Structure 1
């Protein structure tokens, strides 16, 4: 795991070869990143996640994302999700991207920007 600082906020970036197959795996990584590096969020790659994550019927996605919600810890998932044809998964990804905790993005920079957005600047007239 690497830690990247964006706008004074630490984000954990999980190595692509680290596999996550259950919610406990996520909790372990979360605890390490919060305790050791004071991270506010995490980036996972699609490759980190067991394929069952993307089959919403298994409940794995809901169980894992609930951990992020419970601990107020942001998540960016990086990858190409275009080959998934499930309407429910596409809707799930869309809804996540509309919120403020979990984002599915095509590249690392987009995910980092979503997790730590630039503060809006007020313009004086």
Structure 2
């Protein structure tokens, strides 16, 4: 399947093909951002498309990629199981925790979790039962 623009919980999201090209550089991020200009507010990238360097924070790939999305005011969502990477790096665990507390970059296990997060964001600060 190619990367496709989908409505997910009322938000236009570019859902990237797991078999698509790897995201290993800031230029790769810009390529996704360019594709998202068709109307997406977020880009959901399978964790399997991210290079191993993305998860090795010392390489600075994650910072470079994430910064491009922030600069273009586009949410980056990393979708998939990254437990192995998290187990290997306290710094990555901290980054994921802090990212998930904010609104620019999220790490979610699957698209259902993304939908739930988007729905929660639409309900705003109201937390009535």
TM-score (norm 2): 0.85
Distance of 1:51 and 1:82 partners within structure 2: 13
CA RMSD of aligned residues (A): 2.0
Query: How many residues matched?
Result: 122
Shift of the 95–121 alpha-carbon distance from structure 1 to 2, 3 Å rule, reads closer
Equivalent of 1:16 in 15, 18, 31: 18
Q: What secondary structure sits across from 1:83 in the alignment?
A: helix
Q: What secondary structure sits across from 2:78 in the alignment?
A: strand
| Contact kept? 2:9, 2:118, Cα under 8 Å | no
Displacement of 1:122 in angstroms is 5.7
Shift of the 88–121 alpha-carbon distance from structure 1 to 2, 3 Å rule, reads closer
Displacement of 1:119 in angstroms is 2.1
Deviation string for 1:11-49 (max 9, x for gaps)? Answer: 000100121111111111211221x2x111110011110
Displacement of 1:7 in angstroms is 4.3
Equivalent of 1:119 in 90, 111, 123: 123
Distance of 1:14 and 1:87 partners within structure 2: 28
Shift of the 110–23 alpha-carbon distance from structure 1 to 2, 3 Å rule, reads same
TM-score (norm 1): 0.87
Aligned to 1:5: 7
Structure 2 spans left out of the alignment, 5+ residues:
none
1:109 aligns to 2:112 (yes or no): yes
Distance of 1:27 and 1:113 partners within structure 2: 27
